[in-house]
Amino acid sequence: MNQMRRGGWRPQAHYLFDKILHSRHDCDVPTEFFEARAIFIVRRPEQAIASIVRLFTRLDRKEYETASEAAQYYVERLAALEGMWHRFPGFRRIGLTHEALLQDPDRALSAVSGRFGFSPPLENRYVSPPASRRGGGGDPLVSGRHTRIESRLAHPIQKNPVLDLPVDLASEAEERYRRLSTLFHLDSSGSDTG
């Protein structure tokens, strides 16, 4: 419905891409939801948590104001994604790390195209419509400045930010990331074809 309200849905289009960032949007979906194709992307906890806090601060929202609040969201969301991962058939899902996507976007897009049989294959280019740059509809901070996924090979890799988190929460965030990354790796190597 959000896509329709923002003019991002075209009835004649063969595919519709949407990103789901909050578990409230996919916690009680019909079984047909798992007939879609799913691209799971996970980002290292330090980077993701710092990014969440920065985004919500810049949007002047009162959600996720602290690293602890953002880390709790991160842990909950990754736990939900792990459960979702197992509900999609192996040929309808693919998992990538954010780091792998940024290090070699063409390789990542080729893997997605190959898994789902996209013809023509995905290309590393996009147009960010104005609706994507409003809060609640995409990436309102930077999407309008780019037309492609920029490879990190051309840029120095940023150091992980130091977060002020309770040790147990930091450990749980790291463990959730490790678990999903491992599932993605097993799937790409053919060991977990679910």
Q: What's the pLDDT score for residue 163?
A: 82
- Which pLDDT does position 65 carry in this prediction? 86
Between CA 162 and CA 193 the distance in angstroms is 36
Query: What pLDDT digit, counting tens, does each position of 54-98 carry?
Result: 888 888 888 888 999 999 999 999 999 999 999 999 999 999 999
**What single-letter DSSP state applies at residue 65?**
-
136 or 150: whose pLDDT is higher?
150
Q: What is the pLDDT of residue 173?
A: 97
Cβ atoms < 10 Å from Cβ of 114: 12
Query: What span, in angstroms and rounded, lies between the C-alpha atoms of 100 and 111?
Result: 11
DSSP SS3 for 139:
coil
Helices 45-58 and 67-87: angle between axes, nearest 10 degrees: 120
Instruction: Say how far apart CA 84 and CA 39 lie, in whole Å.
Output: 11
Nearest alpha carbon to residue 52 among 63, 41, 40? 63
Q: What is the CA radius of gyration of the chain?
A: 17
Give the C-alpha distances (Å, rounded to integers) separating 161 from 14, 47, 112, 155.
40, 7, 30, 17
The share of the chain scoring above pLDDT 70, in percent, equals: 77
Predicted local distance difference test score (pLDDT) of residue 89: 95
What confidence score (pLDDT) does residue 62 get? Answer: 84
Mean per-residue pLDDT of the chain:
83
pLDDT of residue 144: 65
| Percent of the chain whose pLDDT exceeds 90 | 52
* pLDDT digits 0-9 by tens, 7-53: 767 777 777 677 777 766 677 888 998 999 999 999 999 999 998 99
Concatenating the DSSP letter of every residue in 25-49 gives GTTT--GGGGGS-EEEEE--HHHHH
Q: How far apart are alpha carbons 69 and 63 in whole angstroms?
A: 8
pTM metric for this prediction? 0.81
| pLDDT reported for residue 75 | 96
**31 contacts 92 by C-beta, under 8 angstroms:** no
